[in-house]
Structures are given as C-alpha cells and as structure tokens.
Chain A
C-alpha cells in the first residue's frame, strides 16, 4: 500500500508547473482574455512537451500514461488557469478513445491528437454545451446511450458566452448516423461522466490553490493598522481554513484517479467544488475591494472555478448519486464494508 506519487510523476509535474509559470502566468492569461482567448504558440509547446500525447497509448505515439499521472498535470493546468484545450482532451476524450484503439479510424485520431495535428472536444449529453467545440477537428457527442465520434464538418455550432472570459463553449447541433457510432454500450456515458468529473476536480484543486496562494501573498504585503493584514487572526485564519479544505480534497482526487470508482469520483468532485468555492470567496475577502475588480488577476481563477463547478455533474448531481450509493437497499455499509478495498 502506497498512497504516494513516484519521483518520475512528481518530476514531470514540476516540469509542467515550471513551464506554465513561464508561459501561462496570470499576465499572459489576462492577455489571452483580451484577445481571442487561445495561444496557438503555447499549444504547440504543450505538444512539444508531450502533453497532448500523455494518455495516448504508446502504439499510437503517446506516452501511454494513466489517470494517476494525468491528475497531477490537470491540477497544474488549473493552477495556471490554462485557457487551451488540454485537460478535457487528454483526461476525458483520449482515455475513452483508447478503449477503441484497435479500430483503425480511432487509432488514427489518437495518433493525430498525440502529434497535435488534431483536437478532440467532448461534451456530456447532460450539459447544454461543449467546451472548445469550435477549435476541435472531432467531437465526441451522445444520443441516448450511444457515444459518437463526429467530424467537425458534420456539426453546426452555436457559440455561447461563458461567465469565464477564457472558456469557449458552444451548443452543438448534429444528426446521429450509424457511421459515427463509437459504442452503444449502456452505461458508457456514466463512465465518461466519471472521467469528466475527475478532470474538473483536478483542475479545481489547482484553481483553489492558486487563489489561496495569491491571497496569502497579498496578506503578507498589504498593510493596514501599521501591520501586514496577514498578521491579524481574522485574516490568517480564513486562509488556514481554506487550506484545510484543499488538503482534504486532494486525497480524494488522487484516490478517484486511481480507483475511478463512482463513489470516489463523486466524493472528490464534491470536496473540490466546496474547497474551490471557499477559496474563491475567501481570497476575494482577503483582497478586499481589490479582489472585486477586473484589474486584479484573482477573478480569472474564480470564474473558471465557477464555470467548472456546473459541468460534468454539479455538486447536487454528485451528492445525490453518492447518497443513492450509500443509502440504497443493497449498499454495503458497516465496519467491514466502508473501508473494504479502500
């Protein structure tokens, strides 16, 4: 039993963190928000680092890594509020497509994703729009139980505006055909939802930590009553409380990435939604009126957390799912069951 990442996993995480600190600093995020929101140059560098191929099987030219490796990278993407389509693609779309990599047409999509030649967007039928549908070459969409892999040319997009100035969302109109069916296995969309929830949770962790870090830095330097405001218990205790929530969300996210069990996924999702909302509320409070402005970077992180909290099952969806798992007539509870197989 070892609930820890390997040195290699942590080293890769640090490499990505350093890269994003240099290439996706808050000033660059702000710049992207003022423009069209996407940096092709930065995306190319993500490809060069192997990030688009992170979860693509080695046979299709990827690194063949799993969700435990991925979750650390998704967390860093959240920490930097990375605007480009990466997390959804490598954490939701690619793990799904990889199950069908024995089909030549799917294998070629995976190969193109790894090299950065193609992008795949994915939207759960429960959500009213698809993130980054506009820049995608392929879309993974649903009709009933069926999961379809649809070329961009076959869909009509209606761009919507997100409350996050950096999210690109669109409603998608399309006609389902037999030639686009990836699978019609019942329950597959539930499994995809779990992948989506893990992706959102991992990013949320990074977003929450970024907001606390910004606020802690501000509290160390901003002076009132002749002292840094962080020296006042009323302020420092706020941030300590959020850090507790973040740490207690971190373990469930890592566990969910490892087990991919619905109950672990929902737990992680709820813990992160709460921690990120608390981080946003508290960080704004610590920044005072500055935190309410567009001129301080905080709001970019806060709005991303706000947007991500609603998709791939919001808090109430996951809490309801969890309650059913715990309270159903055949749910195994009690000393032997609750911690069984972790």
Chain B
C-alpha cells in the first residue's frame, strides 16, 4: 500500500494543472464550473469546442491504452487528472458518454476495425455518443427490452423506442441494445449495436425535467438503420456487453465525480459560515457527516480501482453507486437547509425558471438515487450478487 504520490506523479500533476490554467481562458473562461449536473444545457457548443481543444492536446482518453490512442495513464495519473480538472473548474464534459462508456466497451469487446473507426472520433471530441438502454417498459427491468433489430442484407433495421437518453439531441452515435432474435425474452437474444443518430429513421423528443431544462430525451426508431458490422460482440451477446458498459459507469470516472462533490460541499460550507448557519449544531453535524461521507467514497474508490484487474468486480464495487447517490441526494437537501428562506428565491425574473446552481443541485440530486440503477436495484444487486441471496420471485 502506498497512498502518497511519487515525484513523477507530481510532475504529471503540474503538467495538467498548468494546461488547465493556460487553456481555460479566453473564449473558454466562461465555462468554468459550468455544464455540470442540472446545468447541462449551459454553453453546449462552447463546451464541445473545449472537448475538441482537449482532444487536440491529448487530454481525452487519459486512462485509455496507448495502442488505441489514449494516454495509457496509470491509476495515480487518472486520479490526478480528475482532481486537477475539477480543481480548475473544468466544465461538464460533453464527451463523457463516449469516453467513459462507449469507448471502453469498444476497447474491451469491439473488433480492430471498430476500434479504428470509432475511437479516434471520441478522442478528438468530434463524435458525441448517447446510451440507448432504457425503454418505457424496460427501466429497472432493463432486460425487458422490446426494441427490435433485424438483419436485412448488410443493414440492421431497428424499430422501437428508448427513453431517458441523455444528450441524444446532440449525439452523433448511440449504442443500442435491441432484441435481434424473435421470440426471445429477458437477457437472451439481445445485441449491442452502434447506430448513427443523424438519419430519418430516428426521431428525438426532449423530455423536460423538473429543473425546467432538458438533458434527456425519448428516441424513436422507425426503420432506423446501421451497417451489419456495427455490432459489438456476437449477435445475442448484447446483455454481456451492456453489463460491461455498466461496470465502466462505476469506474475511474467516479473519482472525477467526487472532486465535483467536494467543490459543492466546499461551497455549501462557505455559505454556512457566511450566513451563520454553521453555528447551528444540527447543520454543523450534517456538514461534518457529509465531509466524512466524501472521505469514505474516495477511500473506497481508490481501494476498488487498485485491485480492479480481473473480469469480476470486487464486492466493494457494488456498494459505491448506492452510497454516493444517497450521499449526494442528502447533500442537495443540506444545501437548501443551509440557505434557509433564501432557498426559495430563484435568480430569474418572474415568468422564467432559471435556478441558482445550488437549486439545480437540489433538484438534480433527486434523480441520483434513480438513474443508472435505482437504490432499490442496487440493494438487490448487493443482496443477490455480493451476499448470495435468492432472487425475488417474479411473475
């Protein structure tokens, strides 16, 4: 065990810190601390330009292998990258679904040809991706996918509907799980397809969130097409590949998320000190509890990543989503309680619905315990996979 950073690590830290300092300036200066959860609509085009700018400088795919164009950074460097990116107020990444989910899935399960075709666009920031998993009747019961794809000549033809598709309205590609074998149900008969978004067979309808903004969408596939070779893994193996993607959701990027959490907690503490709420014993205890929770998350993430080498996720990986989601939901509430009566006042003029970053945080954190597996599903996973409990009876 070694928790400190080496001289070489610190040199890397100086490099990324300097780059952020020198590059989050000029036209990009206004992007500082923008575009995070609840604020995804802010400066989208400018953030896309920043993503390209990062790509040119080699700051995308930091943890990807060198062989596919990544930086091949060791874990310690990935940690440092996320720390310094967050410390500098780096904007919400528009390419995070490609970099964090689509790319790693293609790297792990894709063909050499797919790696050549898809990975450079993710690294350059030119191609944005979205995730076509959930459907109206396949939420917690994800295996209940009804979207169908059939092979017609050299094309997959896709019919169905996805929902809660983040950034679909701006994405170039979508990875879709679709049923490719007639008469199958559940995990069997699904395939993992890479589908171009810009085609007439696809309609995207934004869903308005309680924040008043729209970050996710419904996506309708009506005879949408993709080339036969745009399948990751074998036909019928889509569930295995999809679960691989979900494992990446629990990977190194959670370290970056924790840095954002820390920034939010710091802001809330600063407000509590300024408005006197920090003298309130109950608020003090909740702030201290929040700080402890953050340390727990970080220690657990570092421990998990340090031994995440085999294909099996360690037991501690299963607990992380449940923990951070609940912690973050409580943080959102704490922010409002620290603000007191001021929490009600939105900054926009009457008739508009602009919210302060902390109000957005409060509303956004209502969804933390729902997306990417609800708390209830997480507890089922912990009970069934980590503790070997029998599965719940199903109809």
Contact = CB atoms under 8 A, between A and B. Distances in A.
Pair from one complex: yes
Interface of A: 126-129, 159-165, 167-169, 223-227, 229, 232, 234-235, 277, 281, 284-285, 288-289, 291-295, 299, 302-303, 306-307, 310-311, 314-316, 319-320
Contacts of A226: 394-395
Given A161-B349, A285-B370, A320 B280 contact: yes
A294 B367 contact: no
B375 interface: yes
Interface stretch (B139-147, B187-195, B297-305): B139-147
Contact of B208 (A281, A285, A294): A294
Contacts of B210: 292-294, 299, 302-303
Given A284-B366, A316-B337, A294 B345 contact: no
Contact of B353 (A161, A306, A320): A161
B114 interface: no
Contacts of B336: 306, 310
A285 B369 contact: yes
B322 to A, nearest CB: 12
Contacts of A303: 210
Nearest to B141: A224
Contacts of B139: 224, 288-289
Chain B interface bracket (under 10, 10 to 19, 20 to 34, 35 or more): 35 or more
B312 to A, nearest CB: 25
A323 B144 CA distance: 52
Contacts of A126: 341
A291 B374 CA distance: 13
Nearest to A126: B341
B353 A307 contact: no
Contact of B342 (A128, A293, A294): A128
A284 B370 contact: yes
A162 B344 contact: yes
Contact of B380 (A234, A285, A307): A234
A158 B392 CA distance: 56
Interface of B: 134, 137, 139-141, 144, 163-164, 207-210, 212, 216, 277, 280, 282-283, 329, 333, 336-337, 339-355, 359, 362, 366-367, 369-371, 374-376, 379-380, 392, 394-395
A46 to B, nearest CB: 23
Given A225-B394, A288-B140, A235 B207 contact: no
B395 A227 contact: yes
A292 B282 contact: no
B340 A316 contact: yes
Contacts of B346: 160-163
Nearest to B364: A292
A316 B374 contact: no
7 contacts: A159-B350, A161-B346, A163-B343, A281-B366, A289-B371, A292-B366, A295-B208
B376 A161 contact: no
Contacts of B212: 294
Nearest to B277: A316
A232 B350 contact: no
Nearest to B350: A159
Contacts of B137: 223-224
A7 B302 CA distance: 64
Contacts of B354: 161
A169 B345 contact: yes
Minimum-distance CB pairs A-B, first 7: A226-B395, A294-B208, A224-B141, A161-B346, A299-B210, A234-B376, A292-B367
Contacts of A277: 333
A163 B352 CA distance: 10
